[in-house]
Structure 1
Amino acid sequence: MEMSSGWLAKMKAGLKIERVRNNSFWAVVFILFSVVPILFAINQLFRLRLFQVTLIDNAYLYYILMFYLPVVFLIFPATQGSPQNRVPWYDAVLFLTAAITCGYFGLHGLNIISFGWEYAAPLTASLLSILLWILIIEAVRRASDLGLMLTCIIFSFYPLVAHLMPGFLKGQSFDFLTTARLHAMGANSIVGLPLFVLCNLLIGFILFGILLQYTGGGTFFYNLASALLGRSRGGAAKIGILGSAFFGMLSGSTVSNVVAIGSMTIPAMKRTGFSAHYAAAIESCASAGGPMMPPVMGAAAFVMASFLNVPYIEVAIAAAIPAFLYFLGLFIQVDGYAAKTGLKGLPKNELPPLWRTLKEGWFYLGVILVMCYFLLSLTVEAWAPFYAGAALLVLSIFKKQTRLTWISLFNIISDLTKTLAQLVAILGAAGLLIGGLSVTGVALSFSRELVAAVGQNSLLILVAGALTSFVLGLGMPTTACYIFLAVVMVPALVSLNINPMGAHLFVFYWGALSDITPPTALCVAAASGIAGSNFMQTGWTAMRLGFIKYIVPFFFVYNAALLTYGALREILVATSFAVIGVFFLSSALEGYLWGVGRLKLVSRFFLIAGGILTAFPEWISSLVGLLILVLTTVVSYVPVWAKRKALKVRNE
């Protein structure tokens, strides 16, 4: 009895969510609804056939929904005024309703496919379809925001009124019950591609990212970045960039990256002379690079691989050069800022020795190699994070500092379940968006109309796509925004002979800009909270520091060599021009150029123009850009050279 109560006490202590932690019954229910779906996923993904159970795809998705959708109502309160320390009766009712509804569809998964229940189903299935539709909308309201919920309502109800719409917005309509059935039981809505990707690919990568965090990965990458760059000028900021890049490339997260790395780097930056808003902006931009950084990118990248019908590793490889250019731009600007303001590096006695850091955390680097090896060699990519996670757990056992305790294990379960429950709500809602557009046929007609409107002009459609992605990204989570644009906008881009990978990455980049762009700017909000800086001032600084993220999509769309498509020579030439362009562009944005020093406003203008032209993947523009860069650099350097010469003569 003592062991049982002791175990329960540890479990409740490890649960971060107060609503379930304060009640033993709900704590146990939460753990069951957390662990069982992971076992389901492992059984399904590795085809273990435990208890002779192998589920068809739609039944598997419904059963994952059966566990994670109810949890949304358990851990996300209905309103700000709802009880935060207990589960009210109405949330308990929603919990039970969601579990029963999804369980019913799971039990009848084979019948849904065999007898086409999305068009004609028993009355019970039809009524439960309405219920599931409503539950998903309420879940996304709680787990995300009002903007995505309203978008979800508009597009999921669209099949009811599509026949009344004008022009290309007109489509096939359905009655209310049929629409509900298409959403709940069709292959292109709630249990469509977004949820399929989450359940078959993303679960393992999310688990791996959380394991990395709790075994001390964030601390190791921070220490490694400190040992490598801490003594250089502006070292604290460079530590933040490199540490966030290291952590982000394995976690694929943004806000959690800010919290994990920024809590260490932002105070260090402020202590060494960086202003609060600049320190927060640097960390915001560095962490916002997480979803773009291979080998583990954000959730949208995994959905992208399924849209493109290519292995995920192909998406990761394609994203490598653009991610490098983005982080290069950050480094150049930070170094320029430090040089202008005379900021030094951190004292040697505050930095960990490189050899000791590698000796203590070598296995984190080993895990990176394990992940990359399995991503490249396994026929089923979904296995890679489980193998890498298992390796991480085994290796972490041998050190007391990284060994997991019972409390940290329940912390992991708590974080994993909250993340997956939130994603189930968001991706279920994204499925409703796709469902409303696909069953009416409006998605295809919209793409055709868009191409006709721009008159086959690829630049115009890219600008339109960028603005649309940006606006939608301000009101929707990155993944949901990307999915919507992949259905509506990408076909139009591809029809103008734009590389499909480039088209998908283009809308992904622009949709993700909301992380550093006010008024949403979630990364900025988290970082400014740590730094104690003004949100809007931090946001505008983050936009300038992250400017490369705004323009690099135009570069790789026009030259697929930047996505590693083509001969090695083409890739090297395109990358070289892009690096030169980004170097001078970033220098101009910060107002400081190596060898020259502070730049005048006119010089900055010409360097920005020359940098963009040089990086733009077209021979004439690149050569013109290089000429502008050379002439501007020479003209800027002459006064500096003359001043240095005069000073030398005077000293002699």
Structure 2
Amino acid sequence: MILGLTGLLMAINQTFGLKLLGFYPLGNAFLYYLIGIFLAAALLCYPARAADAHRMPWYDWALAAAALGCAGYLGVNGLRMTQEGWEFFAPLEATLVASLTILLVLEGVRRCGGWAIFAVALIFGLYPLYAGHMPGFLWSNPFSLDETIRAHVMGAESIIGVPMQVVANLIIGFVVFGIALTITGGGEFFMNFATALMGRSRGGPAKVAVVSSAFMGSLSGSAVSNILTTGTITIPAMKRSGYSREYSAAVEACSSTGGTLMPPVMGAVAFIMASFLGVSYAEVMVAALLPAILFYLALLLQVDHYAARQGLRGMRPEEIPRLGDTLKQGWPYLLSLAVLIYMLLVMRLESYAPYYATLVLLAISLFRRRQRLNLAKGLDFLYQLAHGIGNLVAVLAGIGMVVGGLSYTGVAGSFSRELLLYAGGSIPLMLAAGAVTSFVLGMGMTVSACYIFLSILLAPALVAAGLDPLGSHLFILYWGMLSYITPPVALAAITAAGVAGASNTRTSLHAVRLGGVLFVLPFLFVLNPSLILQGPLDLILLSALTAITAIWLVAAAMEGYLYRVGTLGWLPRLWLLLTAGLLIYPEWRSDLVGLALLGGAYLWLAGPFRRRSAVKIEGQRTIG
């Protein structure tokens, strides 16, 4: 908690230029101090082994102290490092400190991200050492061990590169806002709000899970924390309403996964994306809005079709709060969100916006007893801050080594050129390769790590092939995100299965089936920039309408149920999938054919011919 408070004060001091006690370090020194503080917090919060889960061994304290000491040395010498070019020639003690820093970063990655990210960070971090022995376009002039160490720690493209700069300048403020909303009761408000909106409809508990996870995911950006926050309420409610354990867990897993894509507070990866693209976070947020709405609309359609086919009802009236009373209790949360969005989209004050929104929320909570920030909540706030930011800093410092290893050797650019050459300019082939690569890497890496890795290797090739830069980066983010619900890892599905007491494997399979529509969406917006709100308004509206129709048809085909028709056989389901495919393709002729097929489907399944057949069959049954 002390480390969390220290890191928060340092971030506020740097963001607002307060110069508290005359302290205002240079950019690189500030990053070193911040890494030291939150890496130390991560080494104290995350155990080195399972046996240490409920105790604090001496070596955790020693490693945390070493992290603070190394960062302190590097921060104090930040100006000298820049002036004397320590990246190329540094004193012996500086190189030794840098070596220890790399070891501490790798240990932090192992604890917070797991062995998969540790292996990736180690292999690509050491790439400059053996680049001279690699074949073809993977070859580069090799670095010595000292040169590699200095480049990673004292250079501007590795540990203190773009990912860490984004954490320091943007993400800390948004994490502060999300935690403040949660500890003052925001989670309860959004759950009640979702229940008031959707609880009465058929399959109400599942729809409440989708909507509440959309609200909470937009504030936390974390699938796992979202499940552990809302899933403990929504999953039991779904089970009481007749949903199986596996289906309940799958609904919550899919719903929570979309939080990474949901504005206004998307996952950390969105801020990193903005920096890589050289655009404001507001532009990324606006571009992600319609894909996020389509994501959750697809889930709502899926669970509605399932509820209709299974004959499931809504929640009991006594379980549903009144909408007016809910809004009356929760207006401070909506006001703070409005302040945040206004400052992001209108004032374009990205660094300041979350702090001011938090200030508004906490100021209002002083006059409301249930929401007031007391000592216990304040300490919990600091612990959650240290725990969450510590995890981000540890993982992104390690991923920074991946970025540095590929950047210093120049292999990243060579890889993109070769991929473009092998694909022969075929956009479908490149998208398929990108989807598979993102999906596979996402199985063992966090979404942020997966995105950063592929934004260096894959995104330039997609852009060079003529695709929209923002759409290409969102495509990579989306496919990395979907690995949370797909076997064999399926981190979100496994977490939700634990809450539901369900089978991990069956929950993952249910999540894949439930999220079948979600696998279509990335191809929609990467091929059609109108769906990321680029282009004339009429084209955006037309594209949104055809996309909504397409995901509705895919949901109907996946669940085997069509509105005003009822249960479907396999042949009509294949017909609907074909129709959806034509609507997905961004061309007006295919849209016309798709609409004609949709009309034909209704004539076939619900028109006069179907009614005459039904009467004839019913008459035969009556006679029999």
Matched, 1:49 2:13: no
CA drift of 1:648 comes to 11
1:304 is the counterpart of 2:299: no
Output the CA distance in 1 between the equivalents of 2:237 and 2:51.
37
Q: CA deviation at 1:617?
A: 1.6
Shift in Å, 1:536: 1.0
Which residue matches 2:221? Answer: 252
C-alpha distance in structure 1 between counterparts of 2:604 and 2:54, whole Å = 66
Cα deviation code 1:367-393 (max 9, x no counterpart): 221111111233430211111111111
User: Is 1:462 the equivalent of 2:431?
Assistant: yes
In structure 2, runs of 5+ residues without a counterpart are: none
Which residue is 2:593 aligned to?
624
Over 3 Å counting, the alpha-carbon distance change for 1:291 and 1:556 in structure 2 is: same
- List aligned pairs for 1:183-582, cutoff 5 A: 183-582=152-551
Q: Is the 8 A contact 1:578 1:616 kept in 2?
A: no
Q: CA deviation at 1:461?
A: 0.8
Say if 1:596 and 1:640, in contact at 8 Å, map to a contact too: no
Structure 2 Cα separation of the partners of residues 43 and 212 of structure 1: 22
Q: Which amino acid aligns with 1:262?
A: G
| Correspondence list, 1:71-82, <5 A | 71-82=41-52
2:3 corresponds to which of 1, 25, 33: 33
Deviation of 1:530 (Å): 1.4
Moved more, 633-642 or 321-330: 633-642
Classify the secondary structure of the residue corresponding to 1:343.
coil
Q: Which amino acid aligns with 1:513?
A: L
Q: Report percent identity of matched pairs.
A: 45
Query: In 2 relative to 1, CA 646–386 (structure 1 residues): closer, same or farther, beyond 3 Å?
Result: farther
Are residues 643 and 234 of structure 1, via their aligned partners in 2, closer, same or farther at CA, if it must alter by over 3 Å?
A: farther
Of 343-352 and 311-320, deviating more is 343-352
Any idea what SS the aligned residue of 1:289 has?
A: helix
**Cα distance per residue 1:396-424 (max 9 Å; x no partner):** 22222222221121111111101111111
> Which residue pairs with 2:146 in the alignment?
177
Q: Report the Cα offset of residue 643 of structure 1.
A: 6.4
Q: Deviations over 1:140-160 (max 9, x none)?
A: 101110000011110011000
What secondary structure, in the 3-state scheme, does the structure 1 residue paired with 2:520 have? helix
Contact 1:69 1:98 in 2 (8 A): yes
Uncovered stretches (5+) of structure 1, i.e. residues with no partner: 1-30
What amino acid maps onto 1:270 in structure 2?
Answer: K
Contact 2:95 2:150 in 1 (8 A): yes
Amino acid at match of 2:198: L
Q: Deviations over 1:570-613 (max 9, x none)?
A: 11111111111111111111111110010111111111121122
The superposition leaves residues 345-385 of structure 1 with CA deviations (integer Å, 9 ceiling, x where unpaired) of: 11212211111111111221112211111112334302111
In the alignment, the residues of structure 1 paired with residue 88 and residue 396 of structure 2 have an alpha-carbon distance, to the nearest angstrom, of: 23
Q: Which range is displaced more, 277-286 or 518-527?
A: 518-527
Does residue 96 (structure 1) correspond to residue 74 (structure 2)? The answer is no
- What whole-Å deviation, never above 9, does each CA across 1:307-360 have from its counterpart, x for those lacking one? 011110100100111111111111111111111111111121221111111111
- SS across alignment from 1:93: helix
* Amino acid corresponding to residue 112 of structure 2 in structure 1: A
Secondary structure at 1:140's aligned position in 2? helix
1-structure distance, mates of 2:558, 2:575: 11
Residue 645 of structure 1 deviates from its aligned partner by 5.9
Q: Is the 8 A contact 1:209 1:252 kept in 2?
A: no
Report if the CA contact (8 A) 1:137-1:153 is conserved: yes
Structure-2-length-normalised TM-score? 0.97
Residue 517 of structure 1 contacts residue 543 of structure 1 at CA under 8 Å; is this kept in 2? yes
- One-letter amino acid matched to 1:93: A
- Once superposed, what is the RMSD of the aligned Cα atoms? 1.6
Aligned length: 620
Letter in 2 for 1:226: T
How far does residue 47 in structure 1 lie from its aligned partner after superposition?
A: 1.4
Please give the alpha-carbon distance, in whole angstroms, between the structure 2 residues aligned to 1:572 and 1:91: 55
Deviates more, 1:460-469 or 1:636-645: 636-645
Secondary structure of 1:171's aligned partner: coil
Query: How high is the TM-score relative to the length of structure 1?
Result: 0.93
Distance 1:309 1:432 in 2: 21
- 1:257 corresponds to which letter in structure 2? N
Q: Is the 8 Å Cα contact of residues 343 and 349 (structure 2) preserved in structure 1?
A: no
- Structure 1 residue 166 displacement after superposition: 0.3
Would you say the 8 A contact 1:579–1:615 is kept in 2?
no
| 1:85-124 pair list within 5 angstroms | 85-124=54-93
The separation in 2 between residues aligned to 1:215 and 1:90, in whole angstroms, is: 36
C-alpha contact (below 8 Å) 2:554/2:577 kept by paired residues: yes
Please say if 1:594 is aligned against 2:563.
yes
- Match of 1:228, as an amino acid? L
Distance in 2 between residues matched to 1:85 and 1:240, nearest whole Å: 32
Shift of 1:249: 1.7
AA matched with 1:291: T
Cα pair 1:193 1:306 within 8 Å, conserved: yes
Greater Cα offset, 629-638 or 215-224: 629-638
Q: Which residue is 2:104 aligned to?
A: 135
Per-residue CA distance 1:544-573 (angstroms, 9 max, x = gap): 222232221111111111000111111111
Work out whether residues 298 and 518 of structure 2, in 8 Å CA contact, stay in contact via their aligned partners in 1. no
Opposite residue 380 of structure 1, the aligned amino acid is L
How far the C-alpha of 1:640 sits from its partner, in A, is 5.1
Aligned mates of 1:501, 1:168 — CA distance in 2: 27
- Asked if structure 2 preserves the Cα contact closer than 8 Å seen for 1:444 and 1:488, the reply is yes
Report the secondary structure of 2:494's partner residue.
helix
Correspondence for 1:69 among 36, 39, 43: 39
* Cα deviation digits, residues 98-150 of structure 1 (max 9, x gap): 11111111111112222211111111111111111111111110111000001
State how far apart, in whole Å, the 2-side matches of 1:556 and 1:156 are: 33
In structure 1, the residue matched to 2:114 is: 145
**Which residue in the other structure is 1:9 paired with?**
none
